[in-house]
Amino acid sequence: MKILISDPLAAQGVQIFKDQGFEVEVKTGMKPDELKQAIKGVHGLVIRSATKVTADLLAAADVLKVVGRAGTGLDNVDIPAATAKGVIVMNTPGQNSNAAAELAMGHIFALARHIARGTRGVKEGKWEKKQLRGTELKGKTLGILGMGNIGRILAELGTGVKMKVIGYDPYFSAEDIKARGAEPVSLDELLARADFLSIHVPKTKETAGLFNAATLAKMKKGAYLINCARGGIVKEEDLCDALTSGQIAGAALDVFEVEPVPADSRLLFSDDLVCTPHLGANTHEAQVNVAVAVANQMSKYLKTGEAEFAVNAPK
């Protein structure tokens, strides 16, 4: 059986497929038409976030049985089309949660202590002390929106620096949120109480644009907002206004409405914004974790029919 790996995958994952006796082709950066040719004769397709698994691509597949996403987000896969075609789609949730939680915590420290502005100033020959007086995290309230794998780890990190941790997630009971290390609160309470509010929910119909002028206005004045989840959960125009007015003291974004961010984006002119280019899962450890997990899951499915972390159930 043949495996096509169409986005970069850590070598440890490629090796597992080979050890399991699969024929493996690694070909990244293909145009849609090239991919439609390359998919012929392929039983398992391995992707990250770049390859678009469209209905058009699936229609060109002949023996495809499984699409495996090395990572969590499936924004780039037409899941209903895969289901209709009898192709199972699986991801590797949890494997990059630690990486994402640590990045969020890093952004929280960067905001609290002006690390990015300090770096830029020193490099420009400035020695800004008064402008860069910081805030300690100890005793502050960390609000976590989304108490899944990432939110849970961030709760531990926040607790470790002696923050008060509160969490909101409509998909978990109050007891579950408590067991995950946060005081369960309503969304309005999360907005009103958090000194630092970090977002860890998928982008869905309910969460797209959730942080807009109305919700930003409900946040505690001078709070900090961190989005290492998905672009578009925060409305960037509204965030710019809230940063300009001082309603929000600072924001950290790892994800954006449009990626890569256009160089003329209004966001980039705010001194109170720190940002990274979608680095949440981008650690050596997480990339090995997701590659090994996706290779093991797909090998198992193709050999035994047993599906772990499937997100659909084709007949």
Alpha carbons 68 and 309: distance in angstroms, whole number: 10
Could you say which of 107, 193, 230, 236 is catalytic? 230
Judged by CB under 6 A, the stretch of 73-81, 145-153, 224-232, 250-258 that binds ligand 9EZ is 145-153
148 is a contact residue toward ligand 9EZ (CB under 6 A): yes
Query: Considering beta carbons, is residue 44 or 146 the nearer one to ligand 9EZ?
Result: 146
Query: Considering beta carbons, is residue 114 or 180 the nearer one to ligand 9EZ?
Result: 180
Could you say which of 43, 69, 200, 278 is catalytic? 278
Alpha carbons 102 and 228: distance in angstroms, whole number: 10
CB of 165 to ligand 9EZ, least distance (A): 17
Alpha carbons 10 and 96: distance in angstroms, whole number: 13
Among 21, 125, 170, 260, binds ligand 9EZ (CB under 6 A): 170
Residue 42 token pair: 């392929």
Q: Pairing mode, if any, of strands 23-26 and 44-47?
A: unpaired
Q: What number of CA atoms fall less than 13 Å from residue 170's CA on the CB side?
A: 5
Contact 92, 72 (CB under 8 A): yes
Judged by CB under 6 A, the stretch of 51-59, 101-109, 169-177, 260-268 that binds ligand 9EZ is 169-177
Q: Kindly give the residue spans of alpha helices, DSSP state H, lying in 186-247.
A: 187-193, 213-218, 236-245
CB of 170 to ligand 9EZ, least distance (A): 5
156 included as an active-site residue = no
| Residue with smallest beta-carbon separation from ligand 9EZ | 206
Nearest to residue 227, comparing CAs of 192, 189, 278, 271? 278
Residue 226 token pair: 């961190």
278 included as an active-site residue = yes
CB of 187 to ligand 9EZ, least distance (A): 6
- Subset of residues 179 to 218 that bind ligand 9EZ, contact rule: CB under 6 A: 201-202, 204, 206-207, 210
Q: How many residues sit in the footprint of ligand 9EZ (CB under 6 A)?
A: 12
155 is a contact residue toward ligand 9EZ (CB under 6 A): no
Nearest to residue 67, comparing CAs of 47, 49, 81, 85? 47
- Subset of residues 49 to 68 that bind ligand 9EZ, contact rule: CB under 6 A: none
Judged by CB under 6 A, the stretch of 29-37, 166-174, 189-197, 272-280 that binds ligand 9EZ is 166-174
97-113 vs 284-304: helix crossing angle, rounded to 10: 160
Query: Considering beta carbons, is residue 13 or 93 the nearer one to ligand 9EZ?
Result: 93
Could you say which of 25, 206, 259, 308 is catalytic? 259
125 is a contact residue toward ligand 9EZ (CB under 6 A): no
Q: Which residue has the tokens 């698994």?
A: 53
Contact 34, 56 (CB under 8 A): no
Among 68, 106, 118, 146, binds ligand 9EZ (CB under 6 A): 146
Alpha carbons 112 and 8: distance in angstroms, whole number: 35
Q: Pairing mode, if any, of strands 66-69 and 164-168?
A: unpaired
259 included as an active-site residue = yes
169 is a contact residue toward ligand 9EZ (CB under 6 A): yes
Residue 124 token pair: 């420009």
- Residues annotated as catalytic are 230, 259, 278
